[in-house]
Amino acid sequence: MPGMHGSCCPCGFRYIPHTQGYTCEGGHHHLNRAGEDGSQEQGGRDRDRRRQIMNGQDMQRAADVQRQREKQREREQGKVRESEARRRKERDEEREREREIERQKQKDKEAQWARDDQKQKADFERQRGEALARVRLTLEAPPASTAAPSSRGERRRESPPPEEPVDELDADPVAMPWLQTPATKQREPELVRARAKKSKAPWE
């Protein structure tokens, strides 16, 4: 018999052992193999149930905490990813702006080169036109009245006559007492003309 309940049940009957525990002869009370009655067994089951419930609640709370932590970690990682993506986008936009500025500078340089080339071409064409106009005016201009004669005879006719050679006797009239002539007397013009004819220029 179980020692904790004595030899008799509360109703005064003896407990009869069987495979599942003990039962009093009146059949009103039952004990398990551990010597506990149904109320004690029920209390144990209740305690086990409460313990299981508490354990389940603890596990649920732990799972909730873990989920919260994971969600918080995911949110933080998402913020980090968004921040990195935003920085990458800003860097890409900055590089794109710099490339656009460089492209615009290159376009401006090419446009300036094209304008300079056009200006040089225009200046060249203008200078060429001015040179052609000068040549055309030179070719179309009438001959000058003082142009050189075209033939040797014309040059001879138009050349000024040579100066008559001055005779040393007529150059400076001086007194010549041995000739018994006045100082102002000059030689005969016939003699001067004959001497002038004799001393013609060689090109005549």
Instruction: Name the most confidently modeled range: 11-15, 70-74, 135-139, 153-157.
Output: 70-74
Report d(CA 118, CA 125) in Å as an integer.
10
Residue 55 identity: N
Report d(CA 78, CA 156) in Å as an integer.
115
Length of the chain: 204
Structure tokens at 60: 């649920």
Report d(CA 53, CA 60) in Å as an integer.
10
- Choose the weakest-confidence range: 6-10, 44-48, 130-134: 6-10
The predicted-structure confidence for 16-56, as pLDDT tens digits, reads as follows 777 777 777 766 666 666 666 655 556 667 778 888 888 88
The predicted-structure confidence for 145-187, as pLDDT tens digits, reads as follows 555 555 555 555 555 555 555 555 444 455 555 555 554 555 5
| In the predicted structure, residue 60 carries a pLDDT above the cut 80 | yes
**Order of strands, sheet of 15-18, starting from the edge strand that comes earlier in the sequence:** 15-18, 21-24, 30-31
Residue 1's pLDDT band, with cuts at 50, 70 and 90, is very low
